[in-house]
Each structure stands twice: as structure tokens, then as C-alpha cells.
């Protein structure tokens, strides 16, 4: 079961070629094509002992799934309200990792030098990302918008995404989300960090591997 699941996850990753982000060298890596879904995280959370701490998978409306909706109804939605440590635990379980912030931005840009993977024309954002203007105030199943040129979906919207921690004690996350109200919040210009490993309805994650 585990090997089949891990192989499936690997097949849903895309190869990111080596290159540079400014003056920073980026090695070749593989990254999830989609944000980690409720289905995938559920496989993990029901396969380990003990279960991740205080994880509450929620519906698109932000209501705990077990209270009002079938789990299978939201299988294809990005999992959220997952702490950084629980995201890392999922990555460790699969023998993968969270991408660094530099890797995340490099992969999201896909060689674009603009504010977005498609350049600087903010009027195109709705074709690539769920945000405040088109989401109806909730996330959506992964992969419904256009991908960037390397085949990555939802890098500018749907949910924000945890990244690997650097040398400081802060917990970084990148990308826009379904409730982002301004173009800049979905662009590459914004890097966010929080001091406490908390959970948020807006934050999910995707994995990388060497």
C-alpha cells in the first residue's frame, strides 16, 4: 500500500531543471504538480501512529468534514489547517521534503522575470489562480486553472504553501490564496513568515525531492 501510494505521488511530480534565481543557484529537483490534497493527507494521517497533532481537515467552507460533509466530497481539494511540523511529517513519511523558499519561487516563476509566471499583466491572474475575485470565498479542487510553463498548478492562488525553514526560527510560506484581495498578494513579491507553528484555513503545502 505504502509503495503504491508513494509511487503515485512521485508520478504526479514534475521535473524542475537546474538554473538560477537571481544570483542563487538552484539544483534540479522534482516538485508536486498539485498542492497536497485532502485525499493524500488522509492516507498519511490514517497510516501512522500517533496521528498528527490536532489535525482537523476542513471542508471548503471551513467546517470540520466529519461534522457536515463526506470526506470523499473534498478529496480533490487542497488540505489546509495543517501545521508546518505536520506538513514536514508527511514529507518525511514519503521520503521527500518541503521546498525551500528559493526553490519554490524558482519553480513557480518557471523562468518568468515578471511578477507572475505569465508576466506582469495582472488581468490574466484569474486564468491561473483562485483569488478573492473569482473563488467565491473558498478553495477549489486542485488543477482547475492553467499551469505555469513547467506544469505546476495553483502557485498563485487556491492556498498558500509552507516552505522549508531557513537558518532562523520563523516558519515561511509562499503564494497567493483563495482570499487574496490584491494582485501583489498573489505575486512573487510577497514572502510571508510567522513565528509560531500555527495552522490556517489559508495555508496548505506541496512537496519536493532531489
Rounded CA separation 203/83 (Å): 9
Instruction: Evaluate if residue 166 carries a pLDDT over 50.
Output: yes
| Domain residue limits, the chain | 2-209
Q: Which of 49-53, 100-104, 128-132, 164-168 has the lowest mean pLDDT?
A: 49-53
pLDDT digits (tens, 9 = 90+) for 185-198: 999 988 899 888 88
pLDDT of residue 114: 96
Total count of residues recorded for the chain: 210
Rounded CA separation 76/142 (Å): 6
Q: Are strands 203-204 and 160-162 parallel, antiparallel or unpaired?
A: parallel
Q: Which CATH architecture has domain 2-209?
A: Alpha-Beta Complex (3.90)
pLDDT confidence bin for 68, thresholds 50/70/90: very low
pLDDT of residue 49: 59
- Determine how many CB atoms are found less than 10 A away from the CB of residue 123: 7
Rounded CA separation 41/206 (Å): 11
Summarize the confidence of residues 83-90 as an average pLDDT.
Answer: 94
Q: What is the pTM of this model?
A: 0.89
pLDDT digits (tens, 9 = 90+) for 125-147: 999 999 999 999 999 999 999 99
pLDDT digits (tens, 9 = 90+) for 100-118: 999 999 999 999 999 999 9
Decide which of 7 and 52 is more confident.
7
pLDDT of residue 167: 81
Partners of residue 97 on adjacent β-strands: 208
Cell readout for 118 is 505569465
Amino acid at each position: 500500500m505504502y509503495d503504491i501510494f508513494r509511487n503515485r505521488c512521485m508520478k504526479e511530480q514534475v521535473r524542475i531543471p537546474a538554473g538560477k534565481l537571481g544570483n542563487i543557484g538552484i539544483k534540479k529537483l522534482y516538485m508536486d504538480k498539485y498542492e497536497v490534497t485532502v485525499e493524500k493527507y488522509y492516507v498519511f494521517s490514517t497510516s501512522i501512529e500517533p496521528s498528527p497533532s490536532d489535525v482537523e481537515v476542513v471542508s471548503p467552507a471551513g467546517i470540520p468534514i466529519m461534522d457536515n460533509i463526506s470526506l470523499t466530497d473534498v478529496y480533490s481539494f487542497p488540505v489546509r489547517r495543517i501545521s508546518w511540523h505536520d506538513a514536514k511529517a508527511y514529507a518525511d513519511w514519503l521520503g521527500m521534503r518541503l521546498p525551500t523558499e528559493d526553490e519554490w519561487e524558482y519553480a513557480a516563476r518557471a523562468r518568468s522575470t515578471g511578477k507572475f509566471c505569465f508576466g506582469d499583466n495582472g488581468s490574466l491572474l484569474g486564468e491561473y489562480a483562485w483569488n478573492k475575485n473569482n473563488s467565491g470565498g473558498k478553495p477549489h479542487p486542485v488543477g482547475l486553472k492553467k499551469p505555469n510553463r513547467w506544469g505546476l498548478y495553483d502557485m498563485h492562488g487556491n492556498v498558500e504553501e509552507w516552505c522549508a525553514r531557513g537558518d532562523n526560527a520563523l516558519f515561511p510560506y509562499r503564494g497567493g490564496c483563495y482570499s487574496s484581495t490584491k494582485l501583489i498578494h498573489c505575486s512573487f513579491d510577497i514572502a510571508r513568515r510567522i513565528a509560531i507553528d500555527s495552522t490556517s484555513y489559508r495555508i496548505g503545502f506541496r512537496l519536493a525531492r532531489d
